[in-house]
Structure 1
Amino acid sequence: MLKLIQNEWMKLWSKKGTWVMVILIAAMIVGLSGLLRLLNELNDYSSWTESLQQELVQVEEELASPDVTEEKKAELLQRQEEIGYEIESTMEMSKPKSSEEVILETSGMMSLVMLFMIIVAAGIVASEFSQGTIKMLLSRPVKRWKILTSKYVTVLLFGLTLTAITYVASVVSAYIFYPTAEGNSVLLYGSEIAVTAVFGKSIYLVLLAFVYVAVMSTLAFMIGSVFRSTALSIGISLFLYFTGSMIVMFLERFEFAKFILFAHDLAQYETGFKMLESNTMPFSIAVLLAYVVVLLVVSYTTFMKRDITA
């Protein structure tokens, strides 16, 4: 089995497309980090803050007027509170993020890993049929399930490799473009995280995101095992990837929506932005495991029974 995995790993890295993916994901993360820092510096928050402060002065003058009615006073007090919040938010936005905050947000970059993993997973089996190498592959004295397992393990290993590259690139770019945090803690979605715990927390978030990425890759792997066309397999997989969240949003009013695969990204339970309020992490883990089992059963059944002479 190890030799089969090694063989698949070498085949994967012998393709120029694999190296392009690796270079692209590193360049995109570093480039995006630098671009966001540049845009933050170019935005003129001072003029907007000055405008809000002028409006606040006017509101306070109106409140001080002896002729203001109770109804008008209530409106002015509400507007005063809103302006204060807007000024505070604008001043917070004008501050550059710390490198620690950027590192904590690395899990958001896992969508790039998912995109490339889906392409690899959907094509790793289908390409054997498209290129006509499947007969030569299955003519070897090796059981089919071992061949398919080696391909699936290779996909997961490639995903872990891309995840590691993503994390390292994010950390490096964070320290290049952003200042270190002031104080002993930083904010993550409204929660305070100790600076000393930044790496542990960020790795935990990335691993949670990788679980969902791995399951989506398993879906792409199944589609690639069922369809012989590489283009069709990748096309269907990418379509589901880009429309998954919209499908959940469209069907969220129905009870069965909580069983849809695309509603179970585990990272959502740490960020607080849940797709469906009724879902919990244990439930999502159970649903994801069920999907993996079903998808792999379909993949292996199809591959084992397929007539390669057709």
Structure 2
Amino acid sequence: MVNLLLNENMKIYQRLRTWLLIIGLVLTTVCFLIAQQYSVKPTQVADANWKVNMQQQIQNDTVQLTNMNRGPEWKTRVTSRINVNQYHIDHNIPPTEETLWGNMLNASSLMIVVTLMTVIIAADSVAGEFTDGTIKLLLIRPSSRSKILLSKYISAFTFSILLFVILFATAFLVSGLLHGFKDISAPYVYASSDTIAHETSIVKHAISTYLYQCIQMVLVVTLAFMISTISRSSSIAIALSIGIMFAGTSIVGFLSQYNWAKYYLFENTDLTQYLNGAPNIAGMTLAFSVKVIIGYFIIFNVCSWLVFRKKDVTA
């Protein structure tokens, strides 16, 4: 098994494409954070006036609550914002956006880039062997097909972990250089579903946000791996996986009005909804989403395993 893993990793990292993807991720992260930095007002002005700005926001939101009524969800959202801003002022806690962690949290959206890059590697892992005709050479080895498939999946998964670490480290360093490291231990303030403000560790919140974002990556990559195994075409696997991911996440908000949608994969993959205690569908819990995710994960992998074990490679 060790030799299989070494062989699969060698296939991944000896290709120029892999290193271009890694360099592209670093450059994308740097450009994204710089653009974030200069798309808002200068930091020194924000630092000096953040209490004034928050107090003004509280006043504006209070007026809206008094004069407007757009439904309970809107009222809850505005009330939560008022309570969070007031907590910042009362406890003299600078807004997260004015610290390096604000950029770090914004950069977590780049996990989608990590997902896309890993899908390219995972989709080519099995289908590429059939395209190049090397699958026969691989299967004449004494290792079972199950071990061969597992080694390919683990190699693709470890590549995604590498990209995740690179994204997090790059975002942290660049954000620190742009904002400074003085607020590295600042707390994070959020409002739960009952609109009450709470305080937690910003480090814990940032790491949790990134790790929760990984869940969707794992499922999409597993989906790409399954399609690659079934179709023998890396291009089909890449296109279908990316298409399903974007189409699936785009209708999450629409489906949230239906209770049965809680079993829909992409209603559950964004576990960050539980960080603030505000699930997409009322009644959903972290434990429930984890069970749904595990169910889909098992189905995808079992399908890959069954097809690969029975696949005819004589043609």
State the 1:288 CA deviation: 0.6
Aligned residue for 1:244, secondary structure, equals: helix
1:124/1:151 contact within 8 Å kept:
yes
Structure-2 change in CA distance of 1:271 and 1:226 (3 Å): farther
1:101/1:186 contact within 8 Å kept:
no
State the 1:238 CA deviation: 0.8
Structure-2 change in CA distance of 1:257 and 1:38 (3 Å): same
Which residue of 2 is the match for residue 20 of structure 1? 20
Which residue of 2 is the match for residue 63 of structure 1? none
Aligned residue for 2:39, secondary structure, equals: helix
CA distance in 2, matches of 1:95, 1:292: 35
CA distance in 2, matches of 1:273, 1:118: 30
Which residue of 2 is the match for residue 242 of structure 1? 246
CA distance in 1, matches of 2:293, 2:185: 37
Gaps of 5+ in 1: 50-55, 57-73
Match for 1:309: what amino acid? T
CA distance in 2, matches of 1:300, 1:40: 49
Matched, 1:185 2:189: no
Which residue of 2 is the match for residue 228 of structure 1? 232
Matched, 1:299 2:288: no
CA distance in 1, matches of 2:208, 2:96: 27
2:9/2:155 contact within 8 Å kept:
yes
Aligned residue for 2:245, secondary structure, equals: helix
Q: Which moved more, 1:142-151 or 1:131-140?
A: 131-140
Aligned residue for 1:275, secondary structure, equals: coil
RMSD over aligned Cα, in angstroms? 3.3
In the TM superposition, 1:134-213 aligns within 5 A as: 134-180=135-181, 185-190=186-191, 193=199, 197-213=201-217
State the 1:42 CA deviation: 7.2
1:106/1:206 contact within 8 Å kept:
no
CA distance in 2, matches of 1:183, 1:151: 39
CA distance in 1, matches of 2:135, 2:184: 59
Which residue of 1 is the match for residue 263 of structure 2? 259
2:188/2:205 contact within 8 Å kept:
no
TM-score (norm 2): 0.76
CA distance in 2, matches of 1:112, 1:257: 26
Gaps of 5+ in 2: 50-55, 57-62, 69-77, 87-94, 192-196
**Alignment identity in percent?**
30
CA distance in 2, matches of 1:151, 1:243: 27
CA distance in 1, matches of 2:230, 2:135: 14
Deviations along 1:196-226, whole A, 9 cap, x unmatched? Answer: x333332222222212311221111111111
1:118/1:237 contact within 8 Å kept:
yes
* Rg larger in structure: 1
CA distance in 1, matches of 2:106, 2:190: 10
2:26/2:167 contact within 8 Å kept:
yes
Aligned residue for 1:41, secondary structure, equals: coil
| Matched residues, number | 274
Deviations along 1:244-303, whole A, 9 cap, x unmatched? Answer: 112333433444311111111222211456333332110000001111111111000000
Which residue of 1 is the match for residue 118 of structure 2? 117
Aligned residue for 2:275, secondary structure, equals: helix
State the 1:186 CA deviation: 4.0
Deviations along 1:46-102, whole A, 9 cap, x unmatched? Answer: 9xx9xxxxxx9xxxxxxxxxxxxxxxxx99x849xx9xx8xx99xxxx996211333
Aligned residue for 1:267, secondary structure, equals: helix
In the TM superposition, 1:44-55 aligns within 5 A as: none
TM-score (norm 1): 0.77
Match for 1:35: what amino acid? A
CA distance in 2, matches of 1:293, 1:174: 38
Match for 2:148: what amino acid? I
State the 1:24 CA deviation: 1.0
Aligned residue for 2:141, secondary structure, equals: coil
